[in-house]
Chain A
Amino acid sequence: DIQMTQSPSTLSASVGDRVTITCRASQSISSWLAWYQQKPGKAPKLLIYKASSLESGVPSRFSGSGSGTEFTLTISSLQPDDFATYYCQQYHNYWTFGQGTRVEIK
């Protein structure tokens, strides 16, 4: 099974900050990686697929990069609506999620 490890687990930031979340796969997954945002009590929402493709309707301040085993999600200027938990997911070999990164208000 492919394991996904996100860091950090929690991130404290302020509105306007540039935020980066890292996701590492236990083996190469090419670019088969997605990022999701989840708010408390709500379903996850797709942000990024194929490592760097922005889902339609998602603000351009979100971007993804990486390939192989190391990936990043960047929020260029954190907005109040962005405080949430973010998950990476590999879909190279079925599906595995990272443990999540909670972005909280500093």
Chain B
Amino acid sequence: EVQLLESGGGLVQPGGSLRLSCAASGFTFSSYAMSWVRQAPGKGLDWVSGISGSGDTTHYAESVKGRFTISRDNSKNSLYLQMNSLGAEDTAVYYCAKLRNRGLIPGYFDYWGQGTLVTVSS
């Protein structure tokens, strides 16, 4: 059974940093691309970043480019999102999602974690 478990969310001050983690199990982690998707309170889904199965290809939404870094450790079956220079607009539940293929595109998300809440506030 595929399981994705996010952690690392919490309250952070504007301008601060946070690192999210996603622990994956139930599938061969290195064979699949992964992504982060966020959802601000009461709002829709907003794609953040994606990384190929090998980790050699990454892509970011314009809204986070230069501030967020996606990475993965295939030896630990783990996905990460380093978030710097956080602002109130980054407040959201952050979901880890598995893609159905090794590459980034064309790829859709077949499994999602339950999410971790990031709140940016002073």
Contacts and interface: CB of A to CB of B under 8 A. Distances in A.
11 contacts: A43-B112, A43-B113, A44-B45, A44-B95, A46-B110, A46-B111, A94-B50, A94-B59, A95-B35, A98-B44, A100-B44
Interface stretch (A17-25, A64-72, A75-83, A84-92): A84-92
B108 A97 contact: no
Given A34-B109, A92-B106, A93-B105, 13 more contacts: A36-B109, A43-B115, A44-B95, A44-B109, A46-B108, A49-B100, A49-B108, A49-B110, A87-B44, A89-B109, A97-B44, A97-B47, A100-B45
Interface of B: 35, 44-47, 50, 59, 62, 95, 100, 104-115
* Chain A interface, >50% SS class: loop
A75 to B, nearest CB: 20
